Amino acid sequence: MKSANPAVSTTLATLLALSALGAQSQAFAADKPDHEKCYGVAKAGKNDCKTLSNACAGHAIMDNQKDAFIALPAGTCERIVGGSLEMPSGM
């Protein structure tokens, strides 16, 4: 029996690993019951999960992007200027 092409095997392994990491990052805020999603305060490249304009954590394209969130301890977001517990409507 012939083994698969090493390049194909490496590519497949990489894609599987990246998809596992993506699934883990999307569950980040939900896994911490004492944390909440705070929209509109993440710095560029520092968001915790996908946004409407990208599919991965850490890919917010600008500071304070309205659809990007970071997980903060419960009660913190309401005290940050520009922070919102809900994604702005229309996004």
Distance (Å, whole) CA 46 – CA 59:
7
What per-residue confidence (pLDDT) applies to 42?
93
Query: Does residue 87 form part of some domain?
Result: no
What per-residue confidence (pLDDT) applies to 10?
60
Query: Does residue 91 form part of some domain?
Result: no
Distance (Å, whole) CA 49 – CA 68:
7
**Model pTM score:** 0.60
Domain containing residue 61: 6-79
Query: Does residue 26 form part of some domain?
Result: yes
Instruction: Give me the mean pLDDT over the 6-31 stretch.
Output: 52
Query: Does residue 85 form part of some domain?
Result: no
Distance (Å, whole) CA 80 – CA 20:
32
21: which residues sit within 8 A by CB, 6+ positions away?
none
Q: How many structural domains does the chain have? A: 1
Given a cut of 50, whether residue 31 has pLDDT beyond it is: yes
